[in-house]
Chain A
Amino acid sequence: MHFEAFIYPLMMFAVLGVVLPVLLSNVADAGRSEEYVAPPEKTLYEQLGGTGAVNAAVDIFYRRVLADAYVKPFFEGVDMDRQSAKQKAFLTMVFGGPNSYTGLDMRQGHKHLVDRGLDASHFEHILAHLRSTLAELGLGEAKIAEVIAIADSVRDDVLNV
């Protein structure tokens, strides 16, 4: 009676101790036999260094934009702290970082500038300053082209066409 109460749990432990590792290793082998999946490529946002990189890019970008007499008039009277925050959200999006950017108000937010003469030539200047900024940060041309393609996707909204 006492012996049986002792031996059955012991046998169960012994069985589990042998069987479970074999079962589990089979499961693990099955997992390993799956086709190797490469880890997801880092986003440009991660490659660049996240928030720090976006902040650096926005600083260089606006230094360039405000030193450009052809586009500077469109920033007159603009609160540049607020503008920088918007640009950081935009660049985080184009770099593929975590963002809640919707672009919903892109058209509405630029309408008054279109009324003041904002056109494709000014948009080209902005794209150029973004390319120059990214080149200054050491980005290669292929990556720059990726970023520009995404930035260029808001062109029609910005120019209200």
Chain B
Amino acid sequence: MSLYEELGGTAAVNAAVDIFYRRVLSDAYVNRFFEGVDMEKQAGKQKAFLTMVFGGPNNYTGLDMREGHKHLVAMGMNDSHFEHILAHLRSTLAELGVGSDKIQEVITLADSVRADVLNK
């Protein structure tokens, strides 16, 4: 059973994204990167991404990951900000009751987009 199924499918992903962005937007170290961002559109993208990292059915390609974050790298986004995003994802999953091993699996997948996001 995929983590997606274990967690409860779409509803779990939606809950995760809600908690995740509540955390991210109350983090003064990273929230400047979300200024002027349409958070509805952003949450939609994040749902597709999390469905992928949870192992759910997805057509996530990540093709525009690099292009979509270039302007943020120009604004100073670096590894430390990426670490904050991973931390908020861990905290979100822990809040949803996911165990450490499963969290580690998800984080490994999420971390696989680091180079693209940071345009390295």
Interaction A to B: yes
A interface residue numbers (CB < 8 A to B): 68-71, 117, 121, 124-125, 127-128, 131-132, 134-136, 141, 144-145, 148
Within 8 A of A (CB), among B42-100: 76, 80, 83-84, 86-87, 90-91, 93-95, 100
Q: Which 3 A-B pairs have the closest CB atoms?
A: A135-B28, A69-B94, A70-B94
Shortest C-beta distance, B96 to chain A (Å), equals: 8
Cα–Cα, bound, A132→B30 (Å): 8
Shortest C-beta distance, A25 to chain B (Å), equals: 53
Interface of A: prevailing SS: helix
Cα–Cα, bound, A69→B95 (Å): 5
Shortest C-beta distance, B80 to chain A (Å), equals: 7
Interchain Cβ contacts within 8 Å, total number:
46
Additional A-B contact list (20), CB under 8 Å, known A70-B87, A70-B91, A125-B87: A68-B91, A69-B91, A69-B94, A70-B90, A70-B93, A70-B103, A121-B90, A124-B83, A125-B91, A128-B27, A128-B84, A131-B84, A132-B28, A132-B30, A134-B29, A135-B27, A136-B28, A144-B29, A145-B80, A148-B80
